[in-house]
Every structure is written in structure tokens, then in C-alpha cells.
Amino acid sequence: MVKSAERDIMGQPRALFGLFWTEMFERFSFYGARAILFYFISDTILDGGLDFGTGTAMGIVSIYGACTYLFGLLGGYLADHVISASDLVLLGGVLISAGNFVIGLVCNSGGLMMGLLLIVLGTGMLKPNVTMMVGLAYGKNDIRRDAGFSILYMSINFGSLVAPLLVGFISESISYSVAFITSASAMVVGLLLYVVLKKVLAPKVGVEVPGRFIGSKLWRFLGGLIGGIGVFFGGLAWLTFSNIIDINTIISVLSLAIFLLSVFYIFWIIRSPKITRVERKNMFAFIPFFVIATFFYSIDEQLSSVMAEWTQDKVDLTIGSFDVPASWIQSVNPLLVLLFTPVIVIITAWFDRHGNALTTGRKFQLGVLLGGLSYLSLALIQLTANQQKYSLLVPILVILLLTVGEIFITPVGLALSTKLGPKLFSAQIVGVWFLADSCGQALNAQVTKFYDPDNSVGFFLTFALVGLAFALLLQIFHKKINSLTN
């Protein structure tokens, strides 16, 4: 591969550093709002919340997260056939900021649903296309790809580190309304930086539409898309506010739809006559990684629901005379990612240089093993030290194990998807990868119903054992999986 010094900054493509800031502010906006979302939905009306109850709040947070990644499929499809990835990033950012403004300014159940819908649509347009644009900045076999995605992953975690601290503090010291407006404002800053830096660092990245629809085909698609989204979500809203079905039924319907759509979409790509035999083989190799990532993300995403509740109820959050906001615990994960990602990148690079590279399968095995151990440690601590309030070090230990596991799965999975994905589906395959997170959170929308704060050991132990079982399977079939990815 021939590298151009003009294109590179610190040994990486210039486009990476332009997109770094856009991703950072988008993640600030997303994780700032998500850090307080469970508390806003479950808190009493007197304290500025919506008083939906703990179980329903967990379900809403989970299915909202699931839908943000589900609509990554739409963003990828639009980039492949209708609008350039570059323009979709801009449009997505506008919708995200509008959604947060709606929640912050309206502050009722209707405003919540409308705001979350706008954020879901916006995130679906922006998130996969930023990732896809980073992938396009590298050659197919560029050995810098994994390191580049690790750098992008650090931008994600820097934004999600600062956001819960600032937005969480504002929600407790001022109001939930001002906190959501803060998240909206962060996205506005990100959009301004995107417009300026895109022209300077990445003017040609993400501007092509590889399979553009034209003429009547384009208008039929747009009409069907807008009509379908309007009828589906409008129908659900009407059924809910007419008391025909309740919010929990909607959550269950959406969870099932996400699972079925994920299976359909993966096999629709595999069966496409437009991909080559090698690309079809690569997609089959992608499936086991997708399944393992789905389970891992189910645990990982419980930080904003189950662990948010467990921390608030079971952890002593007092340090001296200062009461730590419960939402601040969600900054521990991104802080640890920022600290440990460079260390793990250096270690894996050392193994690469000395001919003992960790394979993708081995990295996933380490990730899911650590995910299982995180909940195993939490279950064992509660079994051996049954206390009313636990030290703040307990959730930090759990998050530490999860974080190191996440570093081995998320950036590696993103890089794998851009490597194995068929060329014609280059943007959509990133959306398919994000579906693993979507399925994980859809699973959470159902299993969190069984979480009992007063008897949580069985809940945590079940997830731990499944995680250890996946790690064992990866060990048994390591050679086979390694051959598929190469």
C-alpha cells in the first residue's frame, strides 16, 4: 500500500481526525441524555420526572437504545442508494439536536416519545455513516484499520465520559429540562465542527452513492419509507394514547420485530445475487461474531438500566459530605476505555510485530469471557457479603471487567464488519453490525422484567454462566472461526 504524507496525520488518514470530533460531540449528546433518561422516566412528577415506574423505565431505555441501532440499517441503506453518507451525517445531527430540544422543552410523556423518535432517526442516519466514512479512508487490507477504529472509539468514549458528569450534575442541581437542552447544544457544536472540518480534512470521503436510485424508483422508495414510518409509529402512538394497548406491549412488539428484522436482513444480504461467492462466505463468517456481540452488548448496555437501578439502591454514594450523582457511575466505563485502549493497542501491536497476532476470534473470546466474569463477580460479592449498601468500588470493578471486554469486541467488530461486508452493501453492513447492539438491548427490554433488586443474584449469575459458555465455545472452535475470517 502506498501512503501519502499529504493525506496522513500521525500515520493515520486525515479524514479520521475530522470525523473524530463529530463522533465525540454526537456521543456526548447521546450519552448525556441516556445517563439521566432512566431517572427522568422513573422519577416522581414532583421531582421533575414522569413517574412511569422502574420496570417500565428500564423497558423504555432498553428499547430506545435498541431502536437507535436498528435505524442504523436505514441510514446505511440511504447512503448506499439515496443520499451520500456525508449529507446523512449532517441531517442526522440536526434530528438528534431537535429531539433533545423537544424532550427538554416539553417535559411530558408526549414530548418524550416524540423526542426519542427524532433521536432514533437521527442516530440511525449519523452513526453508521461516520463509521463507514472512517472505513472508506483505509484500503481494504490496510493494517492501520484496527488502530484507526480504536482511535475513533476513544473519541466516542471521551464524549461519553464528560457527558454523564456534566448532564447528570445539571439534572440534579438545576432540572432535567436544562440537562436535555445541554445535550442538544452539544450536538449543535458537533454539527458546526463537522461542516468546517469536512471541507478541510475529508472533502471527498463519503460523497458517492454506489447504488443510487433514480427517477420513479427513487420516489416510490421515499414515499414508501415516509409512509411506512408514519403509519407504524403513528399507529403505535394512537393505540397507546387510546388505551388500547399499554407501553409494555409496545416494548414487547418492538423487541420481537428487532429480532426478526435482524435475522431477515442478514440472510437477505447473503442471498443477494449482487454479491460474489467470496463475499457470501464472508457474511457467513460474520454470523457467529454477531451472535456473541449481541449477548455481550446485552450485559454492557445494562449499565444504563439494571446497573443504574442497582447503583442507586445498593451503593453508598456518599464521599465525605458530597453525594455523588448516581448517573456519574456511567462515566466510569468511558474513563476506563480511554485509559486502557492505548495499553491494549500497544500490547496487541507488539504481538502483531512478533508474529503472534491475536486473531479476531481470540479477541472476541477474551471480550465475552470478561463480560461473564463481570456479572459473576457481582453475584459472588452479594453472596459472600450480604450488605444493605456496598462500596462504590463494587460497581467500578464490574465496569472495569466489562470495559476491557468491550475494548476487545467493539472496535474489532467495527473493523471486521468493514472488512467482511460486501462492497455493494458497504454502508449497510456497518448498520448490520450495530444491529448486534440493537438485539442486545431488545433482549434487555424483556429480561429486565425479571430483575428483582432484593433478589438479584440469580439474574446476574445467569448472564455470567452464558458468557462463560460462549468463551468456551470460542476456544473449542477457534481454528475453524479463524480460517473463516481469513
Per-residue pLDDT of the chain in tens (486 residues, 90 and over written 9):
334 444 576 667 777 878 888 999 999 999 999 999 999 998 878 788 888 888 889 999 999 999 998 888 788 888 888 888 889 999 999 999 999 999 999 988 889 989 999 999 999 899 888 888 887 777 767 777 777 777 887 788 789 999 999 999 999 999 999 999 999 999 999 999 988 887 777 677 777 877 788 878 888 888 888 888 888 777 877 777 777 778 888 889 899 999 998 899 898 889 988 888 888 888 888 899 999 999 999 999 999 999 999 998 889 999 888 889 999 999 999 899 888 888 888 888 888 777 777 888 899 999 999 999 999 999 999 888 777 788 999 999 999 999 999 999 988 888 888 788 887 777 667 778 888 999 999 999 999 988 888 888 999 999 999 999 999 999 998 888 777 676
Distance, in Å, from the CA atom of 452 to the CA atom of 458, rounded to the nearest integer, reads 9
Distance, in Å, from the CA atom of 291 to the CA atom of 319, rounded to the nearest integer, reads 40
Contact 270, 280 (CB under 8 A): yes
pLDDT of residue 6: 47
Q: How many CB atoms lie within 10 A of CB 261?
A: 17
DSSP-based three-state secondary structure for 322: strand
pLDDT of residue 452: 86
DSSP-based three-state secondary structure for 55: helix
The candidate with the shortest Cα–Cα distance to 185, out of 98, 257, 124, is 98
Distance, in Å, from the CA atom of 465 to the CA atom of 1, rounded to the nearest integer, reads 44
Q: Which CATH number is 11-212+246-485 given?
A: 1.20.1250.20
pLDDT of residue 140: 66
Region of residue 451 (left: phi > 0; alpha: psi -120 to 50; beta: else):
beta
Task: Name residue 66's amino acid.
Answer: A
pTM for the model = 0.84
pLDDT of residue 259: 92
Extended strands (E) in 313-367: 318-319, 322-323
Beta-ladder partners of 319: 322
**What are the φ/ψ torsions at residue 6 (nearest 5 degrees)?**
-70, -30
Task: Name residue 63's amino acid.
Answer: I
Question: Would you say how long the chain is, in residues?
Answer: 486
pLDDT of residue 334: 87
Distance, in Å, from the CA atom of 456 to the CA atom of 471, rounded to the nearest integer, reads 23
Give whole-number Cα distances, 250 to 206, 245, 259, 446, in Å: 36, 7, 14, 12
pLDDT of residue 1: 39
pLDDT of residue 355: 74
Q: Apex CA 87: angle with CA 86 and CA 91, to 5°?
A: 125
Residues with Cβ < 8 Å from 250, sequence gap 6 or more? 236, 239, 240
Q: Cα dihedral sign for 331, 333, 334, 338?
A: positive
Region of residue 199 (left: phi > 0; alpha: psi -120 to 50; beta: else):
alpha
Give the start-to-end residue ranges of the domains of the chain.
11-212+246-485
Distance, in Å, from the CA atom of 286 to the CA atom of 283, rounded to the nearest integer, reads 5
Q: Apex CA 204: angle with CA 201 and CA 209, to 5°?
A: 140
DSSP 8-state assignment for residue 358: P
String of DSSP letters for 415-456: HHHHHHS-GGGHHHHHHHHHHHHHHHHHHHHHHGGG--TTS-
